Chains A and B, each alone.
Chain A
């Protein structure tokens, strides 16, 4: 374990294309976890590395109202998620993720992208494109820009079945 790799705080910078894309969806889950942030408002970047099955760091500190750019890297050999939400939001999302495993979308260390965009019969897909989360294969890196609008019981978590229960989550502490 590499305890020294706690935060990688980069200086604020003008946003990347990916950040804009992530922020553009809007909406989010509402109720207590914050909202998609504008990359232009992100004053700092926090790098979160995902291993099998844990995060480094396992907690981050934010200020109420702050917008943070998370750079999420999957350094493990399994598919992992980085998802910002309350414990009950995570619980709800775990059911969707279970479905993704049952349908072969998540296969250990791989994502079946064809499967993700397939119409499930009700016009829905398993794209996993909510702005509060990213789902990454090993070696991938993506960004999440998030505004922590209010204090709350917020965790970042991996809802791949079993991972959250095994302890793959981190706390968001409000300063």
Chain B
């Protein structure tokens, strides 16, 4: 009743959506001005980013997408649970949308929260074809706020996606400006001794990777809601108000570390799903992830939303202010993180013998804090048995789920040592908050209201994330997409996926169509996500209730990794007759994904 009234009201307020649930999108060539450069790109309804699509849980939407390009296109509704033939992946869910054609998507909205949409064709998404989705829940939310803003990030590069891919294929370090120099070699020698330095360099060379490859695409301008740092997107507030910020990382390749100096942030949602609120000073948002936070600025002043890229090669910046035109100080970029040998521990074909012989001091090229992080042999988050064997008298009698619920950072470990169970021990990548405060970890994410009953998985599937940086090939279990058989799942089963990252890069793994229940060790409170980041040298588990028939994409969401082959088709066998599809027909066409 109430729901219908509201929907009615909404459609009155928004003339573009006269018929409740009917929406139009055009896919257009657009101009993108970052403040640093102007380029041609692709957008929706004449702009990049496209509009905020506002849906209501329980409504049926019809979305007419008109392709004004001279090439095929598609729209994928990232994170939405829908029939597979509406999922928008050419070659898997449908053939794609031809130039000049209008395709009508039609599906029920069965969830609430912050999501986004983007093209799944070629490199249209890095070229600008993305927008946001905000779904109002049917009932009340488990939190309160006075106003809300979408804060959608991207890493806009002056080169087109096609050109970037060509360059990476030709020279994988084409966009890597942070490579170590001869000068650094000598400073390492003076600090670590010649033999250790040479050995370290040789180890890296043997892995066909450059040591600074935290990011393989640099030279971008960070945008927030389409605005570069100088264009300074600004969200207004009245002091004392609670503001909900819906952060969405629509980058092609870039992870961002986000903070708002002067404001605490309370994380209330991850990937569209409510989580038990966590107060943080800073958080890292992986490519394709979303985080909703609530902030409460009490003072009549401006605050900077500062999003530094994980490799510190660039940033996005925006402002929250009581009035347009006000601004606050913009922090300096911090020193780039450097991968350590720990981040490489999962790498295939490494000579472990010579590693063991190495001076440990030399394993860490970062600060001494990283060293301290190495001592925490029992912090391995994925191995729970280690945790319960910790000698901590106060831990007696605690059950397992509770332990995982604790802030690992403060568990009898030295206060300053950064450690996070979702990073390799001794990793150079473990993020720390700029103000020394709390940095969000996956281990902090607990479902607010679990969607699924916790149950034993029916089987485990191991997916090794593999690649060869020197040839810019990325794959799963050593096989790239075009050479791989699909992953076959059975409707009704609960599959445990084991990701083993054998590369030196972080991979945001995105399973379409079904939720990824991330194992943070919290049992029934494990959060559900659509994108799961797997750090170098780590193993991460997620479980999926196979509850949607059809066929789906499953891939690394770094655009150029997906295109290089870190991608799989998932086929769900069985399920309700009516929902099973003519999947064979679709599979024949397209091939682009």
Instruction: Find out whether the CB atom of A110 lies under 8 angstroms from the CB atom of B402.
Output: yes
A51 to B397, CA, bound (A): 28
* Residues on the A chain within 8 Å of B294, using CB: 165-167
Asked whether A104 is an interface residue with its Cβ less than 8 Å from the other chain, the reply is yes
Q: Which of B140, B279, B296, B410 is A54 in contact with, Cβ under 8 Å? A: B140
From B142-150, B329-337, B462-470, give the one contacting chain A: B142-150
* Residues on the B chain within 8 Å of A110, using CB: 402
In the complex, what residue of chain B is closest to A167 when comparing beta carbons?
A: B144
Asked whether A125 is an interface residue with its Cβ less than 8 Å from the other chain, the reply is no
Instruction: Find out whether the CB atom of A166 lies under 8 angstroms from the CB atom of B405.
Output: no
Asked whether A118 is an interface residue with its Cβ less than 8 Å from the other chain, the reply is yes
Asked whether B195 is an interface residue with its Cβ less than 8 Å from the other chain, the reply is no
Instruction: Find out whether the CB atom of B406 lies under 8 angstroms from the CB atom of A104.
Output: yes
Contact with B along A78-120 (1 / 0, CB 8 A): 1000000000000000000000011110011010101100100
* Residues on the B chain within 8 Å of A51, using CB: 142
Contact with A along B425-447 (1 / 0, CB 8 A): 00000000000000000000010
Instruction: Find out whether the CB atom of A52 lies under 8 angstroms from the CB atom of B394.
Output: no
Asked whether A53 is an interface residue with its Cβ less than 8 Å from the other chain, the reply is yes
* Residues on the A chain within 8 Å of B399, using CB: 107
A146 to B407, CA, bound (A): 34
Q: Which of B277, B279, B402 is A53 in contact with, Cβ under 8 Å? A: B277
In the complex, what residue of chain B is closest to A109 when comparing beta carbons?
A: B525
* Residues on the B chain within 8 Å of A103, using CB: 394
Asked whether B169 is an interface residue with its Cβ less than 8 Å from the other chain, the reply is no
Instruction: Find out whether the CB atom of B140 lies under 8 angstroms from the CB atom of A107.
Output: no
Asked whether B236 is an interface residue with its Cβ less than 8 Å from the other chain, the reply is no
* Residues on the B chain within 8 Å of A1, using CB: 139-140
* Residues on the B chain within 8 Å of A161, using CB: 277-279
A52 to B410, CA, bound (A): 26
Instruction: Find out whether the CB atom of A101 lies under 8 angstroms from the CB atom of B406.
Output: yes
Give residues 504-554 of B contacting A (CB, 8 Å): 522, 525
Instruction: Find out whether the CB atom of B296 lies under 8 angstroms from the CB atom of A78.
Output: no
Give residues 37-64 of A contacting B (CB, 8 Å): 51-54
A163 to B278, CA, bound (A): 8
Task: Tell me the minimal C-beta distance from B222 to chain A in angstroms.
Answer: 27
* Residues on the A chain within 8 Å of B401, using CB: 107-108
Interface of B is mostly: loop
Task: Tell me the minimal C-beta distance from B536 to chain A in angstroms.
Answer: 29
Asked whether B266 is an interface residue with its Cβ less than 8 Å from the other chain, the reply is yes
* Residues on the B chain within 8 Å of A168, using CB: 143
Instruction: Find out whether the CB atom of B142 lies under 8 angstroms from the CB atom of A53.
Output: yes
A90 to B296, CA, bound (A): 15
Give residues 258-280 of B contacting A (CB, 8 Å): 264, 266-268, 276-279
In the complex, what residue of chain B is closest to A103 when comparing beta carbons?
A: B394
Instruction: Find out whether the CB atom of B394 lies under 8 angstroms from the CB atom of A166.
Output: no
Taking each of A77, A103, A110, A162, which has the highest tally of chain B beta carbons within 10 Å of its own beta carbon? Answer: A162
Instruction: Find out whether the CB atom of B277 lies under 8 angstroms from the CB atom of A104.
Output: no
Task: Tell me the minimal C-beta distance from B96 to chain A in angstroms.
Answer: 42
Instruction: Find out whether the CB atom of A101 lies under 8 angstroms from the CB atom of B143.
Output: no
Instruction: Find out whether the CB atom of B296 lies under 8 angstroms from the CB atom of A165.
Output: yes
Task: Tell me the minimal C-beta distance from A118 to chain B in angstroms.
Answer: 7
Instruction: Find out whether the CB atom of B398 lies under 8 angstroms from the CB atom of A54.
Output: no
* Residues on the A chain within 8 Å of B494, using CB: none
Instruction: Find out whether the CB atom of A108 lies under 8 angstroms from the CB atom of B279.
Output: no
* Residues on the B chain within 8 Å of A102, using CB: 406-407, 410-411
A25 to B397, CA, bound (A): 30
* Residues on the A chain within 8 Å of B242, using CB: 167
Q: 13 pairs across A/B with beta carbons < 8 Å?
A: A54-B144, A102-B410, A103-B394, A107-B401, A114-B397, A115-B397, A115-B398, A161-B279, A162-B276, A163-B277, A166-B144, A167-B143, A167-B144
Q: What 20 additional pairs, Cβ within 8 angstroms, besides A166-B277, A166-B294?
A: A1-B139, A1-B140, A53-B448, A77-B449, A78-B276, A103-B394, A104-B394, A104-B395, A104-B403, A104-B406, A107-B399, A107-B401, A108-B401, A110-B402, A114-B397, A115-B398, A161-B278, A165-B277, A166-B142, A167-B145
